[in-house]
Amino acid sequence: MKRYLLLSDGTVFTGKPLGASGETVGEVVFNTGMTGYQEILTDPSYSGQIVLLTYPLIGNYGINDDDFESDRIQPTGLIVKEACEVPSNWRATKSIDQLLKERNKVAIQGLDTRAITKRIRTAGVTMGCICDDLEVGKARLESVQNYDETDFVYDVTTSDPYEWGREGRREIGEGNESGRVRLVVLDCGLKYNILRRFWKAGCQPIVVPATATVDQIMDLKPDGILLSPGPGDPRRLGPVVETVKGLIGKRPIFGICLGNQLLCHAVGGETYKLKFGHRGSNHPVKDLITGTVTITSQNHGYAVDANSLTGTGAEVTQLNLNDETVEGIRIKGADASSIQYHPEAAPGPWDSRPYFAEFVEKMRATL
């Protein structure tokens, strides 16, 4: 049986079924990581997107119960060259095909993924549809809203506040650990490993919806505030930006990925869409203050406009060495800073993990 990937410009790639049957539509993007497909599949920042994994064999170590980064599969679809049918790993409980079928997610394999990647790099990201019938796929693609016109953050944020503890998610107030600083996390598309890393660094993370107000956040008596990663265009998140604006100067603030872009907008800066984004585990970033270079894990399609920060009180602190895009900013006199990449990795290198302990120390210094 054949399955197709239909792009918005009419280009068709023919492959074989993977996962559930049916059709799915999304913005087609690629990730260059060699491992970490389970974490990628459960990363909320991929909401609304069909993810192409450039590494040719996916699924060889299976799916386990420990490496999920959220409670669901987040991309609308998946594209791989070859999906391993018989994984080999002592932690594995199922194959990637079994997971996709269980979660009713449509995917495709057996295509020329290099050709698709080269096309995206040349022409930019595009909307696409994975389907078994080209006429049905064409109709779906014509009827769907463009990725840039959709607010995905409100689909992936938590509906209710909660705490994160030693065993994971729990109701607020259930924990009784002493000596931990209180970190309120504005959830715009949070990955579990961010909470795990902050917990290990000595925090008590308290997660609130992206719709939380300044007063609701401050009522939780935070020692610090985290602006989380998330999907979509930050320019569509006016209410969230206003919340961030109201929080600046009240407590130490740290932003990750989308959080970096929200902090930029909160001080009057601008962002723009990248041609094909940064998605992978080997992006070199230079710290302009220390001169050090770290290899980072990234997943974003928008970037901060450095020129727009002039006169805002924000300064660029880090740059991507591949294309010199902004990778970090800080707000002078406000104890607020952010980075564009993912220090928690999952998947990816651990070079930037010290940021968790450093921010915890900042929070303790204000007590």
The residues annotated as belonging to the active site are 257, 342, 344
Omega of the bond leading into 239 within 30 degrees of 0 (cis): no
Sequence-distant (≥ 6) Cβ neighbours of residue 350 within 8 angstroms: none
Alpha-carbon distance values, 36 to 42, 302, 306 (Å): 10, 22, 31
Residues 277, 216: Cα–Cα separation, whole Å: 34
Burial 298-319 (b: 16+ CB within 10 A, else e): bbbbbbbebebbeebebbbbbb
Residues 194, 229: Cα–Cα separation, whole Å: 10
Element (H, E) at 252: none
Q: What is the dihedral of CA 183, 184, 185, 186, to 10 degrees?
A: -160
Find, among 241, 219, 183, the residue nearest to 362 by Cα: 183
Sign of CA dihedral 153, 246, 250, 269: positive
Q: What is the dihedral of CA 360, 308, 325, 232, to 10 degrees?
A: 70
The string of DSSP codes covering 211-251 is T--HHHHHTT--SEEEE---SS-GGG-HHHHHHHHHHBTTB
